[in-house]
């Protein structure tokens, strides 16, 4: 079996009275992430981790923010497309470990639903999806609630004859 590891990072600006979608879940908060798609920072970081592990570039290479096909699209659809891309190279997802960095809202009540959404999008098992969260301790753009950050690592695997 051949295995590879990928790393992903994403950041989005937060704006007042804007939807806040993370892991396919709409968070109850007065600010939300802004972007061309639904700005799901978690799904974007996972996409980059998967694409990087398979040496397929990054999310911007495949889903340009100038392409109207992707405007407002659910990032879970982009994640499904990334799994298809790595599948075309013979890989499947082993596991995903992700970290969200945001000051508010608290993420713990949403984590199980996020894990379920990500698992469904990749066609995997919820037990292979780990999502954690931390704050910026009121420091920097995360601490001032100006932005949200996500990091992700993944393992992809290919059966070899």
- Check the annotation: does 115 bind a ligand: no
Ligand-binding site membership of 137 (annotated): yes
11 is in an annotated binding site: yes
Q: Has 22 been labeled as part of a binding site?
A: no
Residue 20 annotated as binding? Answer: no
- DSSP per-residue codes, 28-78: --SEEE-SSS---HHHHHHHHHHHHHTT---HHHHS-TT-GGGTT--HHHH
Per the annotation, does 138 bind a ligand? Answer: no
The residue behind tokens 């923010």 is 65
18 is in an annotated binding site: no
Question: Is 12 one of the annotated binding-site residues?
Answer: yes
First-to-last C-alpha distance (Å) of the chain? 8
Is 134 annotated in a binding site? The answer is: yes
67 labelled as ligand-binding? yes
Which two three-digit tokens encode residue 100? 């969200």
Q: Is 62 annotated as a binding residue?
A: no
Beta bridge partners of 134: 101
Is 136 among the annotated ligand-binding positions?
Answer: yes
Nearest to 158 by CA among 68, 62, 87: 87
85's enclosing H/E stretch is helix 75-88
* Residue 60 labeled ligand binder: yes
Q: Is 29 annotated as a binding residue?
A: no
Q: Which residues are annotated as a binding site?
A: 10-12, 36-37, 44, 58-60, 63-67, 134-137, 144
Q: Which residues are annotated as a binding site for a divalent metal cation?
A: 10, 12, 44
């Amino acid at each position: 079996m051949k295995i590879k590891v990928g790393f992903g990072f994403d950041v989005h600006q937060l704006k007042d009275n804007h939807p806040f979608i993370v892991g396919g879940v709409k968070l109850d908060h007065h600010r939300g992430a802004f972007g061309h798609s639904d700005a799901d920072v978690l799904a974007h970081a996972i996409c980059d981790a998967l694409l990087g592990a398979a040496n397929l570039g990054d999310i911007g290479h495949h889903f340009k923010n100038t392409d109207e096909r992707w405007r407002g699209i659910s990032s879970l659809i982009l994640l499904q497309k990334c799994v298809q891309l790595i599948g075309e190279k013979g890989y499947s997802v082993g596991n995903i470990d992700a970290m969200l960095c945001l000051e508010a809202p608290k993420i713990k009540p949403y984590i199980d639903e996020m894990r379920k959404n990500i698992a469904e999008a990749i066609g995997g098992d919820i037990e292979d999806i780990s999502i954690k969260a931390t704050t910026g301790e009121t420091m920097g753009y995360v601490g001032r609630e100006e932005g949200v950050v996500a990091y992700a690592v993944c393992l992809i695997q290919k059966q070899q004859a």
